[in-house]
Amino acid sequence: MEEAKVAQLRDFVDSCKSDPSLLHEPLLVFFRDYLESLGAQIPPTSKKSHNNQKSDGMPNAEFSDSNNSKKKSAEIDDDDDDGNDDEIVESDIELEGEVVEPDNDPPQKMGDPTVEVTEKSRYEAQIYKARAVDAMSEGKPLEAIELLTYCIKINPTSAILYATRASVFVKTRKPNAAIRDADAALQINPDSAKGYKSRGMAKALLGKWEEAASDLHIASKLDHDEEIHSILKMVVEPNAQKIEEHRRRYERLRKKGEQNKAGKEHLRAEVGEKKGADDGLLEEEGTVAVVVGRPEDEELESGYFGSARNGQLGPGGSVLSIHKSGELNAKLDAAATQSRLAIIYFTATWCGPCRFMAPAYQTLAEQHPKVVFLKIDIDEVGDAARRWNVSSVPTFFFVKDGKEIDKIIGADKSGLERRISLHAPKI
């Protein structure tokens, strides 16, 4: 055994001695099983309660239980004593696993499918692929990527070469690059287990848990892999199930909200008819009608006739959350009246990239007080998302004088800053 590899093994054992919880990482399940087969006793993991965990991912781990992401979930308070049945009660969804900021590097070099592949080039590609594997084992991922890129150049018809480079991009936390390579691998060989595995793990890094679960399930069926099984059971599947439950709660909320809205509109119609009848009767008698508002009327006025109040923009420097389509229209009208640029940020609580954009969006709002920064949850105000043809989140619309002038799709911080500088008034 090479001396360098022995030194790496010694360092790993020292790390396990200082922090035995490393042995509970999903990637080390094979090593843990081996130790237990020799009679070793593995110390139980000292896992903190979910409410106190922070996102301090452990280095070199594909997914770490300490990397919990909290998502907001909407639930209906069925025991509301005030009769406000459509009130949203916010609760946290605890999501396991590491989510990284999307990589926006230029696309990596891909192979030319028209290149003629000879036996010599195939053999040479295999030699360089072996060198790339050695480079990864020595902790040199950039060198491994360069070697695999050369392999792909001389043998662009090999799905395994693309899938291998995709796995290196996953380990270097470049999920978008990994997805591009995995897609290329699957285009060449639709049954590439490694292609599905790499793409699934890359999507997990982006917080796309349901898509990740789908790819990893296919990979597991094509070629059973203990690492895939461990990640699916411990991280990806639980997250996907939580998100599905989250969507069901929002659907329940939406249906109940529609019922409440229909009831309020019916009540408003009844109140209007009664008021009209009373006004006519009093007018005939030569008196002035004074209508005393009831609690139901006050609720209707604030919910149905409150557009003027909702249209106020305030001094700026903050993000305004929109909870109804009427609010969005009122804010845009107010912005147009004041000749101010408005930005509509469509987001979702289950969206990993959106979590990275939220603090940047707030910072930009503070830096540009003359710009109106709006935020809409597509699950809460679905009709607005449909009206603006939102197909993915995050999406940013730039609106001036009531008209869309620009749009950004994706978590592109620098792009958002450039567009604001381009369209915002100079202060």
**Active site (catalytic) residues:** 351, 354
Question: Whole-angstrom Cα distance, residue 418 to residue 424?
Answer: 10
Identity of the amino acid at 76: I
Question: Whole-angstrom Cα distance, residue 97 to residue 291?
Answer: 59
Cα separations in angstroms, 11 against 1, 4, 8, 15, 56: 15, 11, 5, 6, 21
Neighbour order of strands in the sheet with 395-400: 319-322, 372-377, 342-347, 395-400, 403-409
Task: Please tell me what DSSP assigns to residue 290.
Answer: -
**Are 392 and 409 contacting, i.e. CB atoms less than 8 angstroms apart?**
yes
Query: Among 25, 21, 427, which residue's Cα sits nearest to residue 226?
Result: 25
Q: Are strands 403-409 and 395-400 parallel, antiparallel or unpaired?
A: antiparallel
The structure tokens listed for 121 are 């080039």
Question: Whole-angstrom Cα distance, residue 193 to residue 164?
Answer: 11
Question: Whole-angstrom Cα distance, residue 35 to residue 18?
Answer: 17
- Within its chain, how far is the Cα of 339 from the centroid? 33
Helix (H) or strand (E) holding 133: helix 119-137
By three-state DSSP, how is residue 341 classified?
coil
Helix (H) or strand (E) holding 342: strand 342-347
By three-state DSSP, how is residue 18 classified?
helix
Task: Please tell me what DSSP assigns to residue 27.
Answer: G
